[in-house]
Amino acid sequence: MNPLADRLAVKMNGIGNEILILDLRGAGAGVTGAQVRAIARTKGLGFDQLMVLEDPRSEGTKAFVTIFNADGSQSSACGNGTRCVAWALLKDARDEIIVETAAGRLVCRRVSEQVFSVEMGRPRLKAAEIPLARDFADTSAIDLAFGPADAPILKNPAVVNMGNPHAIFFVDDISAYDLAAIGPALEHDALFPERANISLARVVSPERIELKVWERGVGLTRACGSAACAALVAAARLGLAGRRATVALPGGELDIFWRESDDMVIMTGPVEFEFETRLDPAIFADVAA
């Protein structure tokens, strides 16, 4: 019997970022990439990220969360997904929990019934931390371009690791570029050994940033919480924005605050419950155990 068969799955979204939560605490089993892809192909269960809840590994945490992209690859961070997890785990009326991911311990707090904040960790800004295939003394604008060498379409992105690698190109108009065509090439550029999330950002004012994201392992997405965090950090480093701004994505808005006292980035935004269902065993009929 497949341990995933008949398990309860909760479908949610965080400002349009499609999230599926699968609670495997106590199951003694994990999820393979092939199983993730099988779930993602199932009608009605499509997701950007699958948040798998496993037994806690550290004292004081509610769960260890393994994060999968729709293509079966793993991610170390998903801010919108973590807010959805907080909603699912805070049903006992508590206002704060700690979950753990590959990126570390994340404090989640209830702001209101459908709004949650997550401490997303400290940005990693050194080339080796992002990681990049070669060293750059300054990662606020690196030597990378897309397009003809004599007239590149995009150039000199900022790079930030917010649990996963991000490259942010600051532009005057995020709708003027075909990110669906540009994103795959840059995601897989040799400079990014772990691939990268590719964002186009427009700084409207020091307190507002417009953002469009090509997410590694997913594609164009309506929202990406870690990209919003990375964009705010990058803009603040360049003097284009302050340490707190509203980041507007196609699916909605997030409040991002890069706290000076401890370098922590806090993301706040809403979540939406869609439905819950049990996984049909037939989903895994063609997947090896």
Distance separating alpha carbons of residues 27 and 149, to the nearest angstrom: 53
Please state whether 70 falls in left (phi above 0), alpha (psi between -120 and 50) or beta.
alpha
Residue 237 dihedral angles phi and psi, to the nearest 5°: -65, -35
CA–centroid distance for 203 within its chain: 21
- Establish whether 28 is an annotated binding residue: no
Note whether 64 and 211 are within 8 A (CB): no
Just list the catalytic residues. Answer: 78, 224
Q: Enter the tokens of residue 61.
A: 């945490």
- Establish whether 225 is an annotated binding residue: yes
Distance separating alpha carbons of residues 135 and 242, to the nearest angstrom: 27
Which CA distances in Å does 35 have to 28, 52, 69, 260?
16, 12, 12, 41
Cα torsion 194, 200, 206, 208: sign = negative
- Establish whether 80 is an annotated binding residue: yes
Cα torsion 218, 184, 78, 232: sign = negative
Query: 49-88: buried (b, 16+ CB within 10 Å) or exposed (e) per residue?
Result: bbbbbbeeeeeebbbbbbbbbbebbbbbbbbbbbbbbbbb
- Establish whether 110 is an annotated binding residue: no
- Establish whether 16 is an annotated binding residue: no
- Establish whether 161 is an annotated binding residue: no
- Establish whether 215 is an annotated binding residue: yes
Helices (H), 19-129: 33-41, 79-89
Binding site listing for substrate: 17, 49, 69, 79-80, 164, 197, 215-216, 225-226
Binding site listing: 17, 49, 69, 79-80, 164, 197, 215-216, 225-226
